[in-house]
Chain A
């Protein structure tokens, strides 16, 4: 199993450009998440999808959109990139079974720079 995979690993954008970060998991997990990590800080939740067909805002959703394409895939889109969105982006997934600890497993991250 590959676990959680993310593409691309690195990306440089100019202000105003758009792009989509891709995430896929092969663990048959129900829930998926997008976080961002700024220098010297912990991760903050952008959006999450509790189950296929649903999405909800997290702590820092402004400037982003998401799509839960199917159970495996959860994409994050920046419509008009801004320098404040320079960060490392992590995708995660979890089983989300009732009564479980619901541990989240993370992808390797995407380092995004917006000039």
Chain B
């Protein structure tokens, strides 16, 4: 069974700084998808960024980018020029391509951006 681990329960940085959230996963699959979701205090789950395992190029979405290390099974999220609105819980998630269509989530990292 796949597992996803986020080793940082909480992080805090100053506005405009860069922050990196860590995620590792365990799977025997070769092809899969990885996601980062943001959950602000409103509780809404918002997709931040996604990565296909067969793509070597790291995904980027404006200020958000990932460092995908397939051999190390690592998928970290970098937020550049952090903003107050980035304050939220961030969840890393894994989805296999074949079989059960479920997302496996990590425990989450609570990120606070301070003014």
Interface centre among B44, B47, B52, B102, by most chain A C-beta atoms within 10 angstroms, is B102
Q: Which chain A residues numbered 56 to 110 have a C-beta less than 8 Å away from chain B?
A: 56, 58-59, 88, 90, 92, 94, 96, 101-106, 108-109
Name the residue on B nearest A48 (C-beta).
B101
Query: Is A40's CB under 8 angstroms from B45's CB?
Result: no
Can you add 13 more A-B contacts, CB < 8 Å, to A41-B108, A45-B102, A108-B43? A40-B107, A40-B108, A42-B91, A42-B93, A42-B107, A43-B105, A45-B103, A48-B100, A48-B102, A96-B101, A102-B33, A103-B47, A109-B45
Q: Which of B4, B47, B52, B102 contacts A59 (CB 8 A)?
A: B102
Given contacts A43-B91, A101-B50, A103-B50, contact A90 B102 (CB under 8 A): no
Question: What size tier do the contact residues of chain A reach?
Answer: 20 to 34
Which A residues touch B46, using CB under 8 A?
Answer: 106
Residue A25 CB within 8 A of the other chain = no
Residue A114 CB within 8 A of the other chain = no
Name the residue on A nearest B9 (C-beta).
A40
Measured between alpha carbons, how far is A50 from B50 in the docked complex, in Å? Answer: 21
Measured between alpha carbons, how far is A103 from B45 in the docked complex, in Å? Answer: 12
Name the residue on A nearest B46 (C-beta).
A106
Which A residues touch B108, using CB under 8 A?
Answer: 40-42
Query: Is B107's CB under 8 angstroms from A88's CB?
Result: no
